[in-house]
Amino acid sequence: MSNDHDHRTDRRRARLGRACAAGAVGLVAAGPALAAGELTAAFTGPGSSPVLAVGSAAIDLAPTWLKEYAIRSFGTHDKAALLAGIYTVAALLAVLSGLVSRRRPGLGTAVVALFGALGVWAAASRPTARAADALPSVAAGLADATALWFLSRSLRNATASAPALPVDPPGSPDPATTGPRRRTVLVATGATAGVAALGAAGGRHLADSRGDVGAARAAVRLPAPAVPARPLPAGVHPAVPGLTAFVTPTADLYRVDTALTLPAIDPRDWSLRIHGLVDHPVVLSFDDLLRQPLEELDLTLTCVSNEVGGRYAGTARWLGAPLPALLRRAGVRPGADQLVGRSRDGMTIGTPLESVLDGRRALLAVAVNGEPLPVAHGFPCRSLVPGLYGYTSATKWLVELEVTRFAAFDPYWVRRGWDRTGEVRTASRIEVPAPFARVPAGDVDLAGTAWATHRGVAAVEVRVDGGPWQQAGLAADGGPDLWRQWSHSWRGAIPGTHRIEVRATDAAGRTQSETRTLPFPSGSTGWHSTVVTVVR
């Protein structure tokens, strides 16, 4: 091999080494940004942290297909997936800022400034934004720019201080990564990373402790209901192993919302304002709410994003103040047709007023299954309206109810093209046997759950391999606001692969349509089916 060739390889290696060092410097310089952002956000509110603000803006800007895709593929982990994506993009930009700073420090600063500006814009775009929400991103940008300037300068000095190739003998170590200057760079980089890690962890901790409403939640004393729920009839749940529980344990309730950080609301600082097209606007404190004649309501809540056979449905015993009575007290004016709930985090949810006032048991719920609402499910207060999907009825972290008109205001999901009524579609699913289960030949237990919330389920039918529909046995009826479980004995199943299908009919006599549609814009339709293998 020629000497010349060695030179070239060495030079290439040295260049690569320097590029890596510069990229690493950019990445490390983003550490103080993270720390400054978190520490500042501990005071301005967790939602204003640059990463979370950008994440929330991304959620609001995401097209419907992408949101549906995220809910479908990541389920309740959709937010973790989003944050992982944001951190990845941020890390790439940080590396880029280090690389360009090598030759053009000004350009590096520009990349950082762009990044800070993105955070400021995102924070300002939040529906609940205040001027102070820009501070964490500004602090992060300044910290990043300072660290980047300082670290790249020491890296440049280390590189420049050594004589350049090819004067060096072949194989001599790269000056940027050796010698006393190298130690300076390493120490500075390490110290920056260490301080940043401490700062970020400290900021997180501070934010968590400031936003912890666990104690306030534990201190809530729930009054006894003025109207207790009737006990559920015996036999609402067929004793088939593997079938969903009739009442969903609170920990298993599905969660769907746009909140990257859960609103932390101390009930002592909470109030609910009922205003708009009313004769007497009302403001209720949490104690005022608890002094209402509280009612218990057994209700199945479902999400419009639930796909055929999906798990975004749950049944619980809710406790709350009757909403129709409060609205009547406020005096709804003629012409009003929409009730808009606003949450502490700026979500708006619009409910047809006629649904709330037609006699159904709409609630301002404060408790579920005997406990104050979990923070993830709306503590301290959320609305519930039987028969409507969550996105048009179930505002969590509720702070405001505005009586208005559909013509006057489009709430969050309606602006994104979803149906403004949100009436729950009839749905049914097969839970037993599990998909692709292997079951012994002979009689096979089939079982599942169906709902047509507020209308009630009148019939469930199943069929095997496209054969004749057969009536499934319906378990005891808990009432129209609750799902209904079913079971059926499939007689004489013979070995092989079989397809089982289910469909339900609501109390109005309408049977689920076979046509498969996606959740957007008014809920999925189609028959759920499952494939099982019968073995000898």
Ligand X SMILES: Nc1nc2c(c(=O)[nH]1)N[C@H]1C(S)=C(S)[C@@H](COP(=O)(O)O)O[C@H]1N2
Size of the site for Mo ion (CB under 5 A): 4
User: Looking at beta carbons only, is 257 or 501 nearer to ligand X?
Assistant: 257
Told to check if 255 binds ligand X by CB under 6 A, we report: yes
Told to check if 377 binds ligand X by CB under 6 A, we report: yes
DSSP secondary structure letter of residue 45: -
Told to check if 391 binds Mo ion by CB under 5 A, we report: yes
| Binding region for ligand X (CB under 6 A) out of 109-117, 203-211, 216-224, 386-394 | 386-394
Told to check if 295 binds ligand X by CB under 6 A, we report: no
DSSP secondary structure letter of residue 423: B
Told to check if 259 binds Mo ion by CB under 5 A, we report: no
CB of 375 to ligand X, least distance (A): 11
Residues 299-318 that bind ligand X (CB under 6 A): 301, 303
Size of the site for ligand X (CB under 6 A): 20
Residues 449, 459 contacting (CB under 8 angstroms): no
Question: Which partner from the list Mo ion, ligand X, none does 182 bind, CB cut-off 5 to 8 Å by kind?
Answer: none
**Residue nearest ligand X, Cβ-based:** 390
Phi-psi region of 456 (alpha: psi -120 to 50; beta: other; left: phi over 0): left
Per-residue tokens: 305 = 């994003």
DSSP secondary structure letter of residue 495: S
Scan for tokens 């095997």, then name that residue: 464
DSSP, residue by residue, 241-301? TTPPPSSPPGGGS----S-SS-----GGG-EEEEEESBSS-EEEEHHHHHTS--EEEEEEE
One of 390, 448, 479, 523 touching Mo ion (CB under 5 A): 390
Told to check if 256 binds ligand X by CB under 6 A, we report: yes
Element containing residue 158 per DSSP (H, E): helix 135-161
Question: Which partner from the list ligand X, Mo ion, none does 36 bind, CB cut-off 5 to 8 Å by kind?
Answer: none
Told to check if 254 binds ligand X by CB under 6 A, we report: yes
Scan for tokens 């002592």, then name that residue: 268
Told to check if 451 binds ligand X by CB under 6 A, we report: no
Q: Rounded CA gap, 150 and 187, in Å?
A: 12
Residues 293-322 that bind Mo ion (CB under 5 A): 303
Per-residue tokens: 344 = 């502490």
Told to check if 397 binds ligand X by CB under 6 A, we report: yes
| Binding region for ligand X (CB under 6 A) out of 69-77, 222-230, 248-256, 508-516 | 248-256
Per-residue tokens: 166 = 């090819």
What count of other Cβ atoms lies within 10 Å of the Cβ of residue 255?
16
Q: Rounded CA gap, 161 and 182, in Å?
A: 10
| Binding region for ligand X (CB under 6 A) out of 9-17, 22-30, 257-265, 526-534 | 257-265
Scan for tokens 């047709």, then name that residue: 337
One of 32, 390, 411, 433 touching ligand X (CB under 6 A): 390
Contacting positions for ligand X (CB under 6 A) = 253-259, 301, 303, 343, 345, 347, 349, 377, 390-391, 394-397
